Amino acid sequence: MLMTLMVSLVIVYLFYVLVLPEVELIVFRLNNPKKRFLPPELEMKWANRTMLRSCEFLFVGWFFYFGASIGSFLNVVAWRVPEGRTIVFGGSKCPFCDTHLSFIDNTPVLGWLYLQGKCRTCRLPIAPRYLLIEIAVGLAFMWLALWQLVRGGANLPHWHTFGREGLVNIVLDPPWPLISIYLVHAGMFGILIMLATANTGRKPFPVFSLVLIALGLASAKIIYPALDVVAWDLPFVETGLTGFGPRANPAMSVLVGALAGGLIGWVSSFVFARGFGSVIGRHWVLQCFLVGTVLGWQSVVTIVVLSLIVYAVLRPAHRMISPKLSNWTIANQSLGLNACFIITAMVHQTFWSQLAHLLGLI
Ligand SMILES: [Zn+2]
């Protein structure tokens, strides 16, 4: 399995570095038959272009791996926190034979593939959930790095990129506010994925722990107001509620967002359960609460309404396959709605600026 992964990675790399530029060149020539000058990247010498593209490939791969490592840690959190165990001390162990995992076996994604999903000592299966969380969190970190960081925050409403897009700019002149926003947003997606899968555990994730996480993010927003991307009083600026001061406005943003998230989560859980007869999962309200705290009340309204629409559209398909899923546990059934919510939140993040403009939040 590991060998197949390595070979596919090499193929993707060669395609990105050698084949894709040629395809781009052909497409450009077809679209602009009269232009004599090429875009800078296509104009570059072959060696320079290969080097730049290799750096880009490494950059993206690094962000995937960074996310997968966070996912690996969140796996530990999802498993140990509901059990009331510490997450700071004690390395990872096999849940069956208590053997400590070595550094190589504990490597995100590769460790699981290398062991082919079985413990090295007792050969009992390690749940694919671990691998899936690491991949999902890795993909979330990678996608946000590409779409939010490399594009200079072009997806954020009210954000001016100041021409600081591109990989080279980020490395040579790091835009710290944007990097901080990226870390908070990517971290939020990681926790959403962790909570969605923590539904399958024996005990629910304690509300108190999540409130602590949300409080940490809230104080970060107040200490560093650049993290407050959308002001809480939009689009109702004219009402005269503004002008609370540089610290008080982010504080209001956190307060209104958390309250709105909790309330919308609570109301929508009834809509989903009674209206659609769907299994919600026990962390739904907490997930909405977290989105409200981090992204603001406007985003949590948009994301919940959008996922309601998407879920209504997908419901016939879900009904068609649900007899086949009848042997699934309740916890696994809730994954459908949770995946719908997280993917909608990611699409919202991708087109956040356009959506805010469309809905009059600018
Ligand atoms: Zn074992």
Output 282 or 148, whichever has higher pLDDT: 148
Distances (CA, A) of 32 to 19, 42, 43, 46: 20, 14, 15, 22
Scanning the structure block, which residue is given the tokens 């960074």?
66
Q: How far is the CA of 40 from the centre of ligand 1 (A)?
A: 54
DSSP letter at 273 equals I
**What pLDDT is recorded for position 190?**
95
Give the 3-state secondary structure of residue 26: helix
Please report which residue ranges of 107-238 form alpha helices under DSSP H. 110-114, 128-144, 167-172, 176-198, 207-223
Q: What's the CA-to-centroid distance between 78 and ligand 1, angstroms? A: 19
Kindly give the distance from the C-alpha atom of residue 100 to the centroid of ligand 1, in angstroms, as a whole number.
Answer: 9
What pLDDT does 196 receive? 85
Say which residue the tokens 């981090």 belong to: 294
Q: Tell me the percentage of the chain whose pLDDT exceeds 70.
A: 88
Question: How would residue 348 be classed by pLDDT, with cut points 50, 70 and 90?
Answer: very high
As a whole-number percent, the residues of the chain with pLDDT over 90 amount to 24
Residue-wise pLDDT for 70-127, tens only, equals 999 998 888 888 888 777 776 777 778 878 878 788 888 888 888 888 888 888 888 8
**Is residue 29 situated within a structural domain?**
no
Tens-place pLDDT, residues 236-278: 665 555 556 667 788 888 899 999 999 999 998 888 787 776 6
The predicted pLDDT at position 201 comes to 65
Q: Please check whether residue 70 is in contact with residue 91, taking contact to mean a CB–CB distance below 8 angstroms.
A: no
Residues 6+ apart with CB under 8 A from 214: 258, 289, 290, 293
Written as six digits, the tokens of 18 are 């050698």
Is position 285 within any domain? yes
| Other beta carbons within 10 Å of 125 | 11
Average pLDDT, the chain: 83
| pLDDT attached to residue 188 | 94
State residue 263's pLDDT score: 94
Question: Please, what sign has the CA dihedral across residues 109, 114, 116, 118?
Answer: negative
Distance 127 CA to ligand 1 centre (A): 12
Q: How far is the CA of 118 from the centre of ligand 1 (A)?
A: 8
**What's the rounded Cα separation, in Å, for the pair 341 and 88?**
30
At position 189, the amino acid (one-letter code) is F
CA of 232 to the centre of ligand 1 (A): 50
Distance 71 CA to ligand 1 centre (A): 21
Structural domain total, the chain? 1
139 pLDDT more than 70: yes
Domain enclosing residue 190, as ranges: 150-362
Higher pLDDT, 192 or 3: 192
Distance 114 CA to ligand 1 centre (A): 15
pLDDT computed for residue 236 by the predictor: 65
Query: In angstroms, what is the span from residue 106 Cα to ligand 1's centroid?
Result: 13
Query: For residues 199 and 335, is the Cβ–Cβ distance under 8 A?
Result: yes
Those residues whose C-beta lies under 8 Å from the C-beta of residue 212, and which sit 6 or more positions away, are none
The CA 95 to ligand 1 mean position distance, Å, reads 7
Is residue 67 included in any domain, yes or no? Answer: no
In the DSSP assignment, the letter for residue 206 is P
CA of 170 to the centre of ligand 1 (A): 43
Mean pLDDT of 37-50: 81
Cα–Cα distance between 49 and 139 in angstroms, integer?
26
Q: Name beta bridge partners: 118.
A: 125
Residue 215 belongs to a domain: yes
93 CA from centroid of ligand 1 (Å): 8
Give the HSE-up count for residue 218: Cα atoms under 13 Å, Cβ half-sphere.
Answer: 22
Distance 136 CA to ligand 1 centre (A): 25
Distance 294 CA to ligand 1 centre (A): 39
Q: How far is the CA of 182 from the centre of ligand 1 (A)?
A: 37
C-alpha to C-alpha distance for 146 and 139, rounded to whole angstroms: 10
Task: Give residue 130 CA to ligand 1 midpoint distance, Å.
Answer: 15
The answer, yes or no, to whether residue 152 has pLDDT greater than 80, is yes
pTM (predicted TM-score): 0.87
Report the chain's C-alpha Rg in angstroms: 23
307 assigned to some structural domain: yes
The per-residue pLDDT for range 8-26, each reduced to its tens digit, is 999 999 998 889 888 988 8
According to the model, what pLDDT value does residue 24 have? 85
Å from CA of 120 to ligand 1 middle: 6
- Residue at 57 is within a domain: no
Average pLDDT (156-178) is 80
Q: Ranked by mean pLDDT, which of 229-238, 288-297, 323-332 comes out on top?
A: 288-297
